[in-house]
Amino acid sequence: MTEEPDTSVRELADIPAVEVISRAAVMLMSSAAEKLGLADENPDASPRRDLDEARRVITALAGLVTASVEYLGPHAGPIREGLQSLQRAFRETSAHPDEPGKGPGEKYTGPVY
């Protein structure tokens, strides 16, 4: 009974840093979108909407993007645009929007209007 190694699984050490960072960013973006209710047909009635959680995830995403932007190359632009879209969606969703520069992640990215 010899087990053959699963060749579909890559060793973490073999994955380029830009891919690890990009995947983490996409996961954070997806989580933020879910927590903003954007995955539902009617975001305003989404049972998954949790703005406190969305704020945390967007802030973590902003920190990751800001700290790693120099390594992302051509991926930087789309990831930054996604982050800004989430920051705007958060502002639009909030009953009492934060002042510019005080929203989630804006201490890292600067104000998003």
- At a CB cut-off of 8 Å and minimum separation 6, what does 106 contact? 62, 87, 98, 100, 112
pLDDT attached to residue 94: 93
What CA–CA distance (Å, rounded) separates 6 from 101? 48
Q: For 79-90, write each residue's pLDDT tens digit.
A: 999 999 999 999
Average pLDDT, the chain: 92
pLDDT attached to residue 12: 84
Number of H helices and E strands in the chain, helices first, is: 4, 0
Q: Is the pLDDT of residue 113 over 90?
A: no
Spatial contact of 74 and 83, defined as CB atoms under 8 Å apart: no
Q: Is the pLDDT of residue 2 over 60?
A: yes
Please compute the mean of the pLDDT values over residues 62-71 and round it to a whole number. 97
pLDDT attached to residue 37: 96
Q: For 8-57, write each residue's pLDDT tens digit.
A: 677 888 999 999 999 999 999 999 999 999 999 998 899 999 999 999 99
Please compute the mean of the pLDDT values over residues 49-77 and round it to a whole number. 96
pLDDT attached to residue 1: 57
Spatial contact of 30 and 85, defined as CB atoms under 8 Å apart: no
